Amino acid sequence: MQANTLEEAVSLTKKFTSKPSNDELLKIYSLYKQATDGDNEEERPTGFDFVAAAKYNAWLSLKGKSKQEAEAEYVSLVNKLSEKYI
Using the predicted structure, report yes or no on whether residue 1 has a pLDDT greater than 90. Answer: no
Angle between helical axes of 22-37 and 6-13 (0-180°, round to 10): 150
Domain boundaries, the chain: 6-85
Task: Report pLDDT digits (tens) over 39-79.
Answer: 999 999 988 999 999 999 999 999 999 999 999 999 999 99
* Per CATH, domain 6-85 is 1.20.80.10: yes
pLDDT, mean of residues 14-23: 97
Residue 4 CA, chain-centre distance (Å), reads 16
pTM given for the model: 0.95
- Whether the Cβ atoms of residue 15 and residue 82 lie closer than 8 Å to each other: yes
